[in-house]
Amino acid sequence: DTGVSQNPRHKITKRGQNVTFRCDPISEHNRLYWYRQTLGQGPEFLTYFQNEAQLEKSRLLSDRFSAERPKGSFSTLEIQRTEQGDSAMYLCASGYDEQFFGPGTRLTVL
Amino acid sequence: GESVGLHLPTLSVQEGDNSIINCAYSNSASDYFIWYKQESGKGPQFIIDIRSNMDKRQGQRVTVLLNKTVKHLSLQIAATQPGDSAVYFCAESTWLIQGAQKLVFGQGTRLTINP
């Protein structure tokens, strides 16, 4: 499968714990995006990387959130001190013009 | 501010009928729009896009119409099939640095195909 992959697919954690998600984009894509989707809503933009540089961050990305793309390939999204309001689907997308989305990581914070 | 929304949260149609899903946007400066399909447990899947210099664009069984005067776009699906059952989102593109795009999504319309 040469599409965007994300791991884990599901994560259940207790409030206050840290979690990290991984995204592997389509290999030749230098643009990578993270979005968050809550139940019944459309995805909301979080952040954008071009190669290893994080060039745009949404105000939704509080200081508990950090994203990296150290070698311009895979990316990680870490949430520290999780809160129940962080429960959502976290989607990664890569592409040039068109954005190809991965299957997402569903986070549940108890 | 930016806002993209859909008129109806749910739509049910008979298999074989045509479907029309509507979307309103608020940013008159937007110049690129995309329709996505999202099935349960999956990420959004690109269906069709349209730029603001066009009024209509056709794909395989799908047509997108753009009315810039009233800031409205629609997705028409011809001869719907059971596999068309999904949530459909319109998205408005906002340009970021170096040509990248931030997508602003609406709330979505759940399309159900009845046998």
Phi, psi dihedrals of residue B49, rounded to the nearest 5°: -130, 170
pLDDT at A58: 92
pLDDT at B5: 54
Which has more confidence, A41 or A23? Answer: A23
In single-letter form, the type of residue at position A12 comes to I
CA distance A86 to chain B (A): 18
The answer, yes or no, to whether residue B85 has pLDDT greater than 90, is yes
Which chain A residues are within 8 Å of B4, Cβ to Cβ? 42
Asked if A43's CB is within 8 angstroms of B103's CB, the reply is: yes
Residue B56 near residue B65 (C-beta atoms within 8 A)? yes
Q: Does B101 touch chain A (CB under 8 A)?
A: yes
pLDDT at B66: 97
Q: Does B70 touch chain A (CB under 8 A)?
A: no
Which has more confidence, A2 or A57? Answer: A57
Which has more confidence, A10 or A96? Answer: A10
**B6, B8, B96: best mutation site toward chain A, by most A Cβ within 10 Å?**
B96
A7-20 pLDDT, tens per residue?
999 999 999 999 99
pLDDT at A110: 97
Alpha carbons within 13 A on the beta-carbon side of A12: 1
Q: What's the whole-number average pLDDT of chain B? A: 90
Band of residue B6 on the pLDDT scale cut at 50, 70, 90: very low
Which chain B residues are within 8 Å of A31, Cβ to Cβ? 100
Which has more confidence, B28 or B3? Answer: B28
Band of residue B99 on the pLDDT scale cut at 50, 70, 90: confident
Helix/strand/coil percentages in chain A, nearest 5: 5, 50, 45
Band of residue A1 on the pLDDT scale cut at 50, 70, 90: low
Residue A22 near residue A34 (C-beta atoms within 8 A)? no
Asked if A99's CB is within 8 angstroms of B103's CB, the reply is: yes
Band of residue B1 on the pLDDT scale cut at 50, 70, 90: very low
The answer, yes or no, to whether residue B2 has pLDDT greater than 70, is no
Under DSSP, the state recorded for A34 is: E
A25-82 pLDDT, tens per residue?
999 899 999 999 998 899 999 999 999 999 999 998 899 999 999 988 999 999 999 9
In single-letter form, the type of residue at position A24 comes to D
Band of residue B106 on the pLDDT scale cut at 50, 70, 90: confident
pLDDT at B4: 60
